[in-house]
Each structure stands twice: as C-alpha cells, then as structure tokens.
Amino acid sequence: MYKIKFILLILCLINMAYPCAVCYGNPESPLSHGMNNGVLTLMGFIIFILMIILYSIISMAIRTKKIKITDKGN
C-alpha cells in the first residue's frame, strides 16, 4: 500500500522537476555567462575553505606526532 502511494506521489510531482528558464535559454547569452561565472566563483571559495581546513588538520597531525616523539624521549 505504501509503495502505491509513493509511486502516485512521484507521478503527481513529476511536473515540478522541469529545469529552470536559464537551462532553456541561449547558452551564449550574458545571463548564462554570468551564472557560469557565479558558480565558478562559489566553487573557488568552497575549494579555498576546504584547503584551509585540510591544511589545519594536517598541521595538527604533524604537531601531535612531534609531541609524542619528544614525550617518548624523556
């Protein structure tokens, strides 16, 4: 019974899955270029932030290894 309700719900909502108006437009329009540049800019920010997080994790791991080595020597 739940499967039938789920299938009916999906069939009723399938009209909402159409792409936005930008996807139907001219790929050479300024709107499309602006959207592409905006997406690339946001991806650049996200990659930059993830690299900072990765650097901090690696530097903490190196520091803890150095601390463990100096503690074993004493």
Q: Which tokens is 21 given?
A: 């108006």
Task: Collect the ranges in the chain with pLDDT lower than 70.
Answer: 15-24, 73-74
Q: Is 2 exposed, middle or buried (0-12, 13-18, 19+ CB in 10 A)?
A: exposed
Model pLDDT, residue 47: 97
Model pLDDT, residue 17: 62
Model pLDDT, residue 12: 77
H/E stretch holding 36 reads helix 30-73
H/E stretch holding 68 reads helix 30-73
Residue 22's contacts (CB-CB under 8 Å, 6 or more residues apart) are 31, 32, 35
Model pLDDT, residue 68: 82
